[in-house]
Chains A and B, each alone.
Chain A
């Protein structure tokens, strides 16, 4: 049985809190994060088709992404 919902919410908060230890990445330091290989999202059709396939063939919930990262350009 996986952890209860409240513990998972606490884990989310912990990630944000734990970033007392994260380095703050300045806007001009995002060159590596801007690389295409570092993008966390695939082309939208690919994400949609894979999710639909996993959901149609599996009984569990498929993982969804959040976005973010990248070059952070305005």
Chain B
């Protein structure tokens, strides 16, 4: 899970304006699977020239089926068994924060809460930014701490807890008047109940066992981004590459490339593609022959797989204070693109999302 509180800073509001954002997001999966709808609103209130108060609130509604376990199908080929399809959950979440800007530095503190029937979370984050060399270099660092409780629908009051700590450092460096590079490192350490209470594993020698994951997870990731303006096509090229590893044995890598173009009338269009690949967790298998021992999972998200996605967006400045953005992405998940380990064809699916955001700055 990403640093819950850390977002890359938007272009610093030079005159500390009010900022109000509202958005609607929809996510869906192929094959009668999951659907998510999220409505979100946030506000940044300036206090003088050097301070901001921030607040964010969202509600998401998840419905539809998701894989519960795999079972041997005809000819021994594993197939997914889905949970029933129904309105599963409504999640309410919010956070508040404050930012102080002084000299070439900026400090942000945030506190967040998330609640749904079978999951609750509180988190805190601290993030610092500093510009050097006439803003040719930007340094950023952050830490976050998250305290979660997980239960399931059958026993909604029995929460098993987990704690996650995140650390992030990064640097952005201008290369020349039309290019920059960004490098960042992330580390996260989770302890406690890290399994999925709804998932099971199928054991050939008899029965279904509960999904059970190690009670410690350490994940390290490195990301590099290169942005440059290409005058020949009057567009900006953004390329991002990422590598991560964890003590669960999952290695992953991704590359994303996008072209963004400003058009007359204050339009901005962008289009690109993202490729992702991962290897399966050490304790993952689609099906187990005998009792697998204390750690085991058949969760499709811990399997080996890769994906190719198309993404696009359009943005329009409606008035000097109001802008509208549309973003869409469609991802094709394929076991054949995995970095290593195992996975099953039955886990292949397509997800797509779109997001509409209205932003006011005044």
Contact = CB atoms under 8 A, between A and B. Distances in A.
B23 interface: yes
A60 B21 contact: no
Contacts of A69: 138, 172, 174, 180, 227
Nearest to A44: B7
A58 B184 contact: no
Contacts of B200: none
A57 B351 contact: yes
B8 A65 contact: yes
A59 B217 CA distance: 11
B2 A51 contact: yes
Interface stretch (B67-75, B76-84, B235-243): B235-243
A35 B315 CA distance: 13
Most buried by B among A9, A30, A45: A45
A70 B11 contact: yes
Contacts of B194: none
A19 B188 CA distance: 30
A58 B252 contact: yes
A22 B173 CA distance: 9
B138 A66 contact: yes
B8 A64 contact: yes
Contact of A33 (B131, B133, B180, B276): B180
A25 B79 CA distance: 57
A68 B176 contact: no
B268 A72 contact: no
B8 A46 contact: no
Given A43-B21, A68-B172, A73-B14, A26 B134 contact: yes
A68 B138 contact: yes
B160 to A, nearest CB: 19
Interface residues on B, range: 35 or more
B137 A46 contact: no
Interface stretch (B149-157, B163-171, B285-293): B163-171
A32 B178 contact: yes
Contact of A60 (B240, B252, B268, B331): B252
A37 B262 contact: yes
A15 B223 contact: no
Contact of A63 (B223, B315, B325, B357): B223
A35 B228 CA distance: 11
A10 B181 CA distance: 16
A37 B252 contact: no
Interface of B: 1-3, 6-12, 14, 21, 23, 25, 27, 38, 40, 42, 129, 131, 133-138, 140, 168-178, 180-188, 219-223, 225, 227, 229, 235-236, 238, 240, 242-246, 248, 250-254, 256, 260-262, 268, 270, 276, 278, 281, 301-302, 313, 315, 325, 327, 329, 331, 333, 351, 353, 355, 357, 359
Interface of A: 1-3, 5, 8-9, 11-12, 15-16, 19, 22-27, 29-33, 35-74
20 contacts: A2-B245, A8-B222, A12-B185, A15-B181, A22-B173, A22-B175, A25-B134, A25-B177, A27-B134, A40-B227, A46-B23, A46-B313, A57-B301, A59-B248, A60-B278, A63-B184, A64-B6, A67-B140, A68-B137, A68-B182
Given A24-B136, A62-B242, A63-B221, 11 more contacts: A19-B136, A22-B175, A24-B134, A32-B229, A37-B236, A48-B40, A57-B333, A60-B219, A61-B188, A67-B10, A69-B174
